[in-house]
Structure 1
Amino acid sequence: MLIINVVMIGHLGAKELASGTLAMAMLNPILLCTGGILTAVAPLTAQAIGAGDKSGGRAFFQQGMWLSVILSCLAVPLLYNTGTALEFLGQSPELSRQAGEFAKALCFMLPPYMVMLVARNFLAAHGQTVVTLAILVAGAALNFAICYLIVENVWGLGQYGLFGIGLSTALANLAIAVALLFYISSNPHTNVVAPYRGLHRMDLLSLKAVSIVGTPIGAATLLEVAFFSASSLLMGYQGDAVLAAYALSGQLNGLAFAMPTGIGVAAMVRVGWAYGARSWIAMQRACFAAIGLGVGTGLCVGLMYAMFPSLFISIFIDVTVAENDAVVRIATLFLYIVATLQLVDAVQAIVSNVLRGMSDTFVPCFWS
């Protein structure tokens, strides 16, 4: 969904795009680290299902919800002080101020985002992904619609600028979280395990299990994204054009990475089912099938980025405007680099998730 923000912020101007990039450089480590921790709900639930647990991993879902509350309380203060942190790191005062306003709006996104992650992982472990995808697409459409009204200054909403775009993202995440929780309660595959029964009680053993499996995932994800966030901060010293170009290429890289990540999550769930059932043949099949799909998608995306860089850059900014020439030129170079990384990124993402399906999260963290 954040890619929609970048697209819409790009239409506000290069300076706004640079500010938004700095804010997201602070936001992304928080989202991905906490999201990585909460990912543990999926393999643990899948293993419980594979082992024939009649509760369907209910305890892991519920403690994931508790953990999302705890993580939100820790993350919101960090994000709220983004502007101060950026200025302390030597970024432009004006960019830091704008980034800080954007980040303050995004603080409202964190709690529903984390609840949404827990619900999505629980549904994925139960193999309920089609309606989940539809809900996510609807939420993204809602975010786009509100952002469009702000960018086009419909009904005077343009005055809210970056702050308004941040609030629209929070609203969309809230809508997605509510819809997913309702779907869990109404879906026969998940409702049968009484997912909300006893939700008010904290189960320390299950909470510990989620934390033990999830913390290395969060740490590995944090290490991966730290490089890109640090790069964004360094690009900020090179000027608005370089920072904006890096933002575009980074979002395109993230968009491409979503495909092997999705394949990896599917592999993680299927490996989790097989691991719970102690079916080693099924684990091997899931692993090799996922790697094959990942290699194919990585090659296809890499070739498209290398062959048509201007086409993809034009999603974010108008490549025909002379004042954007510098951004387009630099973004094209960055995109060539992104294209070369797709195959390796795809295999790494899938293999890591296969290991996570067996609750082996320390090895991927170590190699990160």
Structure 2
Amino acid sequence: MSHATSRIIPGRLGAWGPEIRATLALAWPLVLTNLSQFALSLTDALFLGRVATEALAAATLGGNLFFAMLSPAFGLALAAGPMCAQTRGRGRGHLRGMRRDVRAAFWACAAATIPVWLALWHTEWLLGALGQEPALAALAAQYVRALMWGMPLFCGFVVLRGFLSAEQRPLSALVVSFIGVALNIPLNYWLIHGGFGVPALGVVGAGIASSLCNLFMFAGLAVVIARDRHLRRYHLFGRLWRLDVARLREVAQIGLPIAGSMALEISVFAFAAIAMGWFGAIAVAAHAIAVQVASATFMVPMGIGQAATARVGLMTGAGRASAAARAGWIGIALGAGFMAASATTLVLLATPIAWLFLAPGNPGAAETAALAATMLVMAGFFQLSDGVQAVASGALRGLKDTRVPMLLAGLGYWIIGLPLGLVLALWLEVGPIGLWIGLSAGLLLVAGMMLARWMRLSAAGGLTLRRRLG
């Protein structure tokens, strides 16, 4: 074994222990923060599923469209993480540099939000043009119009969370997120069912509750940063009106490919949800249950991937190539281990999990639960590949390598996965399960390609080469 290779491969176990501890210390608050944010939409689904199958289906259609349209601003917000991490790693001038990073990310998110709002305002027409039932499209539009106002607040929260991750201080985001979720539960119950002078708002109430919680989380994290003795030195909210063209360009160079990757992944599942509408409300509701559960488990490798972004970025900014590679491999191993356990759970407990989202007395509940259970078994089979691709892409972001991963995602999801699913579902008449088979194949391919790219860039000299992007 060459000296160069020994710097990367786990030959020096003494250096791996501290990095494992550092990654876990950063990852677990990020994981729980992701789960708490995901719980906002999960609680919407749990409450609406007990109102009516049509309410759950409409919120699913609207929510999938919302999250697909969210990806440009969300990707730009995520650019703040690797930028702040590498700036922090370089050391000199990091206070001013990280302030510029955060300010540029705020401006980029604001610019991306406006055209998305205009599109979301016409949700009913968009879903109707995609072949959805008029009643479901109209109900979904009501949900989205209430939900969309929380978009810039959510993106602002993500920017601040990326800053805190670069500072290796993620606990504040976790605490604020958990309070936000706790607030969402009574707000959902109150606004969906009515009371205290407020009429029952149904899906509109669920959207309003989520927007109010996003407002609380952004404002809460801003207050925490402003009051913390260490963090307020950065003056993150000072002179927000100043445009920084150089930093904006860097946010775009890093964030737009991230947005593209997210759009490709989110939109393929959104299109799958729309395609489920061709098979009726029961198929849409079953798909919603399976996606909610699979998305919940995905929050764990997503958080580990965010920790890998911060650790790889920090070490890359400091010029420590072998330490950056070590951080990435540790994250990938942790993500794969969790998702293997998650896959086993979903396969063994698919039916009981499906019934958590349904009231037995509702029309179509039994048929929905049976189809959802089958989809959950399919979800179990793609858990491992989903976890690997999430953490590998996070590690690549730490190197500011985002363009090629976007292209790989496009190939796996849209060129291979979705066409295969549509052929199976429609041409070979496998039905809704055929779509899930195709999506599983696409995820497996993306995971393999992401892992191969990380292996190449983390080889001796590869990380040093990628530092030019910093």
Same fold (TM over 0.5): yes
| Structure 1 alignment gaps of length 5 or more | none
Give 1:152 shift.
Answer: 4.4
Secondary structure of 2:180's partner?
A: helix
The reply on whether 1:286 has 2:366 as its aligned counterpart is no
- Which residue of 2 is the match for residue 12 of structure 1? 51
Give 1:284 shift.
Answer: 2.0
- Which residue of 1 is the match for residue 222 of structure 2? 181
| TM-score normalized with structure 2 length | 0.76
Secondary structure of 2:189's partner?
A: helix
Q: Which digits, 9 at most, give the CA deviation of each residue in 1:182-226, with x for residues without a partner?
A: 112122332122222322201111111111110000001111112
- The structure with higher relative contact order (CA 8 Å, sep 6+) is 1
CA contact (8 A) 1:150 1:164 kept: yes
1:34-183 to 2 correspondence within 5 Å? 34-56=73-95, 57-155=98-196, 157=198, 159-183=200-224
Larger radius of gyration: 2
The count of residues paired between Structure 1 and Structure 2 equals: 368
Give 1:90 shift.
Answer: 2.1
1:203-282 to 2 correspondence within 5 Å? 203-282=244-323
- Which residue of 2 is the match for residue 329 of structure 1? 370
Identical residues among aligned pairs (%)? 28
CA contact (8 A) 1:301 1:339 kept: yes
CA contact (8 A) 1:11 1:151 kept: no
CA contact (8 A) 2:192 2:203 kept: no
Q: Cα gap change, 1:319/1:274 in structure 2, threshold over 3 Å: closer, same or farther?
A: farther
Give 1:8 shift.
Answer: 1.5
CA contact (8 A) 1:10 1:17 kept: yes
Distance 2:363 2:237 in 1: 56
Give 1:151 shift.
Answer: 4.2
Distance 1:348 1:319 in 2: 37
| TM-score normalized with structure 1 length | 0.96
- Which residue of 1 is the match for residue 31 of structure 2? none
- Give me the CA root mean square deviation: 1.5
Give 1:41 shift.
Answer: 0.3
Give 1:156 shift.
Answer: 5.7
Distance 1:234 1:19 in 2: 14
CA contact (8 A) 2:49 2:359 kept: no
Distance 1:119 1:85 in 2: 32
CA contact (8 A) 1:43 1:269 kept: yes
Distance 1:79 1:163 in 2: 14
Write the letter of the residue equivalent to 1:48: T
Distance 2:192 2:266 in 1: 29
CA contact (8 A) 2:77 2:156 kept: no
In terms of mean alpha carbon deviation, does 300-309 or 262-271 score higher?
300-309
- Which residue of 1 is the match for residue 428 of structure 2? none
Write the letter of the residue equivalent to 2:200: Q
Q: Cα gap change, 1:25/1:235 in structure 2, threshold over 3 Å: closer, same or farther?
A: same
In terms of mean alpha carbon deviation, does 157-166 or 42-51 score higher?
157-166
Secondary structure of 2:94's partner?
A: coil
In terms of mean alpha carbon deviation, does 266-275 or 143-152 score higher?
143-152
Q: Specify which of 302, 305, 315 is matched with residue 356 of structure 2.
A: 315
Q: Which digits, 9 at most, give the CA deviation of each residue in 1:95-139, with x for residues without a partner?
A: 111011111111211121121121111112211211211101111
Give 1:5 shift.
Answer: 1.3
In terms of mean alpha carbon deviation, does 195-204 or 341-350 score higher?
195-204
- Which residue of 2 is the match for residue 32 of structure 1? 71
Secondary structure of 1:201's partner?
A: coil
Q: Which digits, 9 at most, give the CA deviation of each residue in 1:251-310, with x for residues without a partner?
A: 111111110000000010000000000101211221121111111110111111111112
Distance 1:4 1:55 in 2: 39
Q: Cα gap change, 1:271/1:188 in structure 2, threshold over 3 Å: closer, same or farther?
A: farther
Distance 2:327 2:271 in 1: 35
Give 1:321 shift.
Answer: 5.8
CA contact (8 A) 2:76 2:255 kept: yes
Q: Cα gap change, 1:107/1:83 in structure 2, threshold over 3 Å: closer, same or farther?
A: same
Write the letter of the residue equivalent to 1:22: L
CA contact (8 A) 2:194 2:201 kept: no
Distance 1:164 1:200 in 2: 34
Write the letter of the residue equivalent to 1:171: L
Write the letter of the residue equivalent to 1:114: C
| Structure 2 alignment gaps of length 5 or more | 1-39, 410-470
1:287-306 to 2 correspondence within 5 Å? 287-306=328-347
The reply on whether 1:22 has 2:69 as its aligned counterpart is no
Write the letter of the residue equivalent to 1:358: L
CA contact (8 A) 1:143 1:172 kept: yes
CA contact (8 A) 2:73 2:108 kept: no
In terms of mean alpha carbon deviation, does 68-77 or 344-353 score higher?
68-77
CA contact (8 A) 1:126 1:189 kept: no
Secondary structure of 2:237's partner?
A: coil
